[in-house]
Amino acid sequence: MHITEELSERHVLSITVTNEAGILAKIAGLFTARGYNIESLTVADISDNHQVSRITIVTNGPPRVIDQIIAQLDRLVPVHNVADLTANGPFVERELALVKVAGTGEHRIEALRIADIFRAKVVDTTTTSFIFEITGPTDKINTFVGLMRELGLVEVGRTGIVGMVRGRD
């Protein structure tokens, strides 16, 4: 007997929640308990009275599963709203990464040149290393990190994405 899986699509979910202890565990735990995937997850307080946080989750699954994920999140008591940015039309997604690259000579110069093309900022430097700060959609950061791999990549830290629907609403 073999186990088969359905085709998945990637969705960015933006969830507003009451900022209470355990809410992140509740949401992350829902994903593991029901066998859903988390590609990335970001969370931060977004209200001036510290009552509400926004959690952005990138997940993947067949459309039926995505619909279930939204319904399951929506019924948690502390969840205010779940928006499927991918389904709700054009949206902006951004991620920030710190990328440390070590090297000298031609590799070092090439790293700087590529950083310039990607509009990455140098936020730390020694004579043999840089830390670049880069923001953008996930693809752009993947490409940048891929190029740096050939030029002395030491380590990468990424925030995971935040997203927002385009337009005034």
Nearest-approach distance from CB 21 to another protein, in angstroms: 7
Question: Phi/psi zone of residue 17: left (φ > 0), alpha (ψ -120 to 50 degrees), beta?
Answer: beta
Stretch binding another protein (CB under 8 A), from 21-29, 53-61, 96-104, 156-164:
21-29
Establish if 7 lies at the interface with another protein (CB under 8 A).
no
Establish if 66 lies at the interface with another protein (CB under 8 A).
no
Stretch binding another protein (CB under 8 A), from 39-47, 78-86, 145-153, 161-169:
78-86
Task: Report which DSSP code applies to 105.
Answer: T
Establish if 71 lies at the interface with another protein (CB under 8 A).
yes
Q: Which of 26, 107, 140, 158 binds another protein (CB under 8 A)?
A: 26
Choose between 75 and 166: whose C-beta lies nearer to another protein: 75
Q: Which of 6, 33, 89, 105 binds another protein (CB under 8 A)?
A: 33
Establish if 24 lies at the interface with another protein (CB under 8 A).
no
Nearest-approach distance from CB 25 to another protein, in angstroms: 6
Kindly compute the dihedral angle of the four CA atoms of residues 103, 99, 126, 108, in this order, to the nearest 10 degrees.
30
* 3-state SS, residue 62: coil
Query: Residue 91 pairs with which residues in a beta bridge?
Result: 165
The strand pair at 52-61 and 40-45 is best described as antiparallel
- For 121, list phi and psi in degrees, rounded to 5: -100, 145
Q: Rounded distance, CA 64 to CA 81, Å? A: 19
Tokens of 23: 């809410």
Q: Which residues of this protein are in contact with another protein, per CB under 8 A?
A: 1, 17-18, 21-22, 25-26, 29-30, 33, 51, 64, 67-68, 71-72, 74-80
